[in-house]
Amino acid sequence: MNTKAAAVTVLVLAIAFAGSSVVFPFAGFEPDAFPIPQNDPPAQPAGYAFSIWLVIYLWLILSAAYGVLRRADDPAWAATRAPLMLSLGIGMFWLWAASVSPILATLMIWAMLVTGVAALAESPATDRWLLRGPIGLYAGWLAAASCVSVALLGAGYGFGFSQTGWAYAVVLAAALGAIGIIAWLGRVHEFGLAVAWALVAIAVKSANTAPGLATTAGIAAAGVGIVVAMKMTSTKV
């Protein structure tokens, strides 16, 4: 596929990815989708946090449109397109999968995450707000969401921990994973901020019902935020 065609494909996929939220409206896994019903799971962030998807959708579309108009033949942009196409291509069908099978949806969101992080790893420091930024926000939210999906499966199928135990595991895994990726890739602030946004939303949701979890999630969010701030002030791109 030539660079112009790849750029156009990313734009089409970004639009289709956003449009899937209209075709397949989704408000979370049904509690009875699991052998052990997951009613109001503590690992899931407060509902307001999912508004981040509006920013992600619009920013990815804006980025892809700019890529077609101004960066179609830029080799730095071209390097991000193959993994991003894979991630968005899978993402087009994620909401449908989530309504059918939590197991399938979990496998798919992890595939979206891996390819999203691969695209982020290829993103250049130039055109930060129109390439690395939107990919980073997208991949960061996927990092948090993929951990939450595992927690719901674990609790829903009775593996290892209770609901709350899985929520603690999610908080720690998301925070440590984010810190590891930031340490690896450097100044990917949007990635870290998306994970911190999810952790804060877990803290908010559990403040009255599980104060220990809320405190842990708040500390984890602060830890990710501190690492982001340290990278923002460093000279390494």
How confident is the model over 144-168, as pLDDT tens digits? 999 999 999 999 999 988 999 999 9
Task: State the CB neighbour count (10 A cutoff) for residue 1.
Answer: 12
Q: What is the mean pLDDT of residues 98-109?
A: 95
Q: Is residue 222 part of a domain?
A: yes
Q: Is residue 22 part of a domain?
A: yes
Confidence of residue 236 (pLDDT cuts 50, 70, 90): low
Q: Is residue 32 part of a domain?
A: no
Count of domains for the chain: 1
Structure tokens at 62: 């804006």
Strands (E), 33-173: none
The reported pTM is 0.95
Q: Is residue 177 part of a domain?
A: yes
Quick one: which of 219, 60, 228, 46 has its CA closest to 148?
Answer: 46
Q: Is residue 34 part of a domain?
A: no
Q: Is residue 218 part of a domain?
A: yes
Q: What is the mean pLDDT of residues 106-126?
A: 96
Given a cut of 60, whether residue 102 has pLDDT beyond it is: yes
User: Helical H runs in 24-131?
Assistant: 52-70, 75-91, 94-100, 102-122
Query: Which residue has 């440590």 as its token pair?
Result: 176
Q: Is residue 181 part of a domain?
A: yes
Quick one: which of 190, 93, 94, 172 has its CA closest to 135?
Answer: 190
Distance CA 62, CA 134 (A): 9
Confidence of residue 195 (pLDDT cuts 50, 70, 90): very high
Q: What is the mean pLDDT of residues 191-204?
A: 97
Q: Residue 207's domain spans which residues?
A: 3-26+39-232
Ramachandran region, residue 160 (left: φ > 0; alpha: ψ -120 to 50; beta: rest): left
Quick one: which of 102, 101, 86 has its CA closest to 17?
Answer: 86
Q: With pLDDT > 90 as the criterion, what percentage of the chain qualifies?
A: 86
Confidence of residue 235 (pLDDT cuts 50, 70, 90): low
